[in-house]
Chains A and B, each alone.
Chain A
Amino acid sequence: MRLLDAELVETREILPRQWLQRYRAPWLAAGARAGQFVHVRTPDYSGLVLRRPISINTVDRVAGEITLHFRIAGKGTELLARARPGDTVPMLGPLGRPFEVDPRTHHVLLIAGGLGVAGVRFLVDESLEAGRQVTLLFGAATAGDVYPSTLLPDEVEYVVATEDGSLGQPGRVTDLLPAYEAWADQAFACGPYPMLSALASLAAGRQARLGVARLGRKRGTGRPVPPGSPQARRRSWLQVSMEQHMGCAVGACLGCVVWGVEGPLRVCREGPVFAAEEIAWEEPA
């Protein structure tokens, strides 16, 4: 984690009100892992007292660059979208815990709802780099919101669902899951809370439906894995990246909690990536 000034190199609107920005930030590019985020201070800062959490969308370790992909959701993202190449944007990062892929996983299933694609996009690259097969299930309300396939590597199987049926499968992205749950060794999801919640209940029933052993089940004399640890996550079939309003983003203010089965969890510190089983889905979030 470091405070740094990232220089905006390129900015463009890839979809209506959705921006893709490329920043020069060697420290982030070198150290960040898929699932982590940065806490961004918007350039024209007058009046805004909080930074904005944004996922690290991709990194180019060689060029020392990262990209952010965000939707204009209010004042902060509006100001960020107005930044021009050459501007420096203060960032704090990389923050939070990354996705943990089991070394034995070959088939990686990514599930993204809308802007959630920014939360799993980096994992596409990481997984391909590690020689894994990647399928990305993407859901949006309508064709106009669908993430452009040109922004994905060719090796990815890209499956789209739209709620109005204007592109791909009609329906929700969660409807696509059953067709892939047997294929996938592990699944990683980012999107709105109801989507993650639905996925979590699907995942909970998966084992019974398929009759498969859970990945990494303790064999023989294996040491018990502490809950919430990276090892525990690595063994979870479904990992979710969650959102919550944030103050500090370093674990100091306890502002960003979601309710876990064992009590409050800080999205910025214990998350944003959680094993689906860690979250108490029926509680408010």
Chain B
Amino acid sequence: MKRRRSIVTSGPRARSPYAGEPRLGLRAPRNRAGGVPGTPGAPETTAGTPAPGRAAGSGPSGYARVPGGAPSPVTGSNGMPVAGPVPGIAGAAVDLSVDLAPKRPGGLVLQNPVLVASGTFGYGIEYGEVVDVQRLGAICCKGTTLKPRAGNPPPRVTETPGGMLNSIGLQNPGVDAVIERYAPLWAGWQVPVLVNVAGESIDDYVGVAQRLDGVPGVAGIELNISCPNVGKGGLQFAVDRDAAAAVTAAVRRATDLPLLVKLSPNVTDIRPIARAIEDAGADAITAINTLSGIAIDRGTGRPLLGNVYGGLSGPAIRPVGLRIVYEVAQVVSIPVVAIGGISTLDDALDYLAAGAIAVQVGTAIFADPEVPLRLVDELRAYCAARGLSSHLPLVGTALPARPGRPSAKGVEYRP
């Protein structure tokens, strides 16, 4: 039966954002290309020092679709002097595109590496009046389950030092309603939409994936195996290597869509889990989801959130996200997409250095919905100022030159 499905859905896919477009030459950097799955491979030089002198013409040139924004300034956004830029590399000449599924036929090519994180941008329409969503790298929609879910009792959000807690409880109308209400809209968009999928059993996940498979407007799946809010839902899969691998493999068999798997930080050692997910057929890893936490209502002395537990997000979790991206990037060869407290160019650059080829912005959107597009413009300007035709040379600069060094010691919690 699964075989039949894949026959039906293979072949030219009606994935509208890229339908009929030439494939881009640019691929994700393979920091650990050639590595045997499960062991760190030898890093390629792409992860090394930026090449400020790279000629404009030497970059991939087939990419004609320049996002329709104002041309970016040639000077660096942080006021750094432009160190010997090659004439001709202006903001518009910088190609920020990335492929998040280089192993998949057709890939998952984004026009830029700035995505909006699941649960913070609804279905892409809510912010439509104030954000030009078509200029985003991609949109990850709200977590979608097989059946509709009413979500957790209120209050569901509260601010915490440098962050916020949320316990939405995966409120969503169910996959069928999502396909009916939103996919037709998405199909007409230039920006790809990744459907964030959640479930309480492998069958749930597979059911959602099968329904999404081949639906015009659905560019890929981001598997949420890590939502800490729903007791039975996410946690079990994300913390257990075998369960994480099993659900990834099952969804992999159920669909040809690009498959991203989103990691939970609420684990002791992320590396075996990340490796197992790669082995199970994920095209990319996104990390991190929220950290589990609670807040107390000082007035009543009782837990503030209706669900007691919430997920922590925002700047407060950035060091944790960086650590996890840093660890994951060393043990997998598939692309890593960073999430966690990103609101400025510096935050994004840190994550690139830690090994991510793209970033997602979540909580920062609430304070300033313009953050994601500003990051696109600033990253473009930053690359242009350094004579880079792409942001990819910035990826992985913080990773150890020789594999295995920090990994051998395990996660370092020593102060």
Contact = CB atoms under 8 A, between A and B. Distances in A.
Interface of A: 1-3, 41, 45, 47-51, 76, 90, 92, 244-259, 263-264, 269, 283-285
B129 interface: yes
Contacts of A283: 153
23 contacts: A1-B130, A41-B367, A48-B367, A49-B159, A49-B163, A50-B164, A51-B366, A76-B159, A244-B155, A245-B155, A247-B166, A248-B366, A249-B366, A250-B369, A251-B122, A252-B121, A253-B366, A257-B156, A259-B153, A259-B154, A264-B154, A283-B153, A284-B153
Given A51-B367, A248-B366, A92 B153 contact: no
Given A51-B367, A92-B130, A92-B369, A253 B119 contact: yes
Interface in B85-144: 119-122, 126-127, 129-130, 142
Given A92-B369, A253-B166, A245 B156 contact: yes
A251 B166 contact: no
B310 to A, nearest CB: 10
A41 B157 contact: no
Contacts of B363: 49, 247
Given A49-B366, A245-B158, A246-B157, A251 B129 contact: no
A1 to B, nearest CB: 5
Given A2-B129, A2-B130, A90-B368, 4 more contacts: A45-B367, A254-B142, A255-B156, A264-B154
A64 to B, nearest CB: 20
A43 to B, nearest CB: 13
Nearest to B157: A255
A92 B127 CA distance: 11
B171 interface: yes
A254 B171 contact: yes
B265 interface: no
Contacts of B122: 248, 250-253
Residue of B168, B315, B367, B369 ringed by the most chain A CB atoms within 10 A: B367
B62 interface: no
A253 B168 contact: yes
Contacts of A45: 367
Contacts of A255: 156-157, 166, 168
B389 to A, nearest CB: 32
Contacts of B168: 253-255
A3 B155 contact: no
B164 A257 contact: no
Contacts of A264: 150-151, 154, 171
B126 A252 contact: yes
Interface of B: 119-122, 126-127, 129-130, 142, 150-151, 153-159, 161-164, 166, 168, 171, 306, 314-315, 363-370
Contacts of B315: 49
A262 to B, nearest CB: 10
Given A250-B126, A253-B166, A50 B159 contact: yes
Contacts of B364: 49
Residue of B126, B166, B366, B368 ringed by the most chain A CB atoms within 10 A: B366
Residue of B119, B153, B156, B370 ringed by the most chain A CB atoms within 10 A: B156
Contact of A49 (B142, B155, B164, B370): B164
A49 B367 contact: yes
Contact of B150 (A50, A245, A256, A263): A263
Nearest to B160: A49
Contacts of A92: 130, 369
> What are the 3 A-B residue pairs with the smallest beta carbon separation, nearest first?
A252-B122, A255-B157, A252-B126
B378 to A, nearest CB: 18
B73 to A, nearest CB: 22
Contacts of A285: 154
B154 A250 contact: no
Contacts of B154: 244-245, 256-259, 264, 284-285
A146 to B, nearest CB: 23
B124 to A, nearest CB: 9
A67 B104 CA distance: 55
Nearest to A253: B120
A256 B156 contact: yes
Given A49-B315, A50-B367, A264-B171, A245 B162 contact: no
A49 B364 CA distance: 7
A47 to B, nearest CB: 6
Nearest to A90: B368
Nearest to A250: B126
B295 to A, nearest CB: 11
A284 B150 CA distance: 14
Contact of B156 (A1, A49, A50, A254): A254
A196 B163 CA distance: 31
Contact of A253 (B155, B157, B314, B370): B157
B365 A248 contact: yes
Given A3-B370, A250-B126, A253-B166, A48 B159 contact: yes
Nearest to A269: B126
Contact of A248 (B126, B151, B158, B306): B126
B370 A50 contact: no
A150 B366 CA distance: 37
Nearest to B365: A248
Nearest to B156: A255
B233 to A, nearest CB: 16
B164 A247 contact: yes
A1 B365 CA distance: 15
Nearest to A255: B157
A251 B162 CA distance: 23
A143 B130 CA distance: 43
A248 B156 contact: no
Contacts of B159: 48-50, 76
A160 to B, nearest CB: 26
Nearest to A248: B366
Contacts of B153: 259, 283-284
Contacts of A284: 153-154, 306
A210 to B, nearest CB: 33
Contacts of B163: 49
Nearest to A46: B162
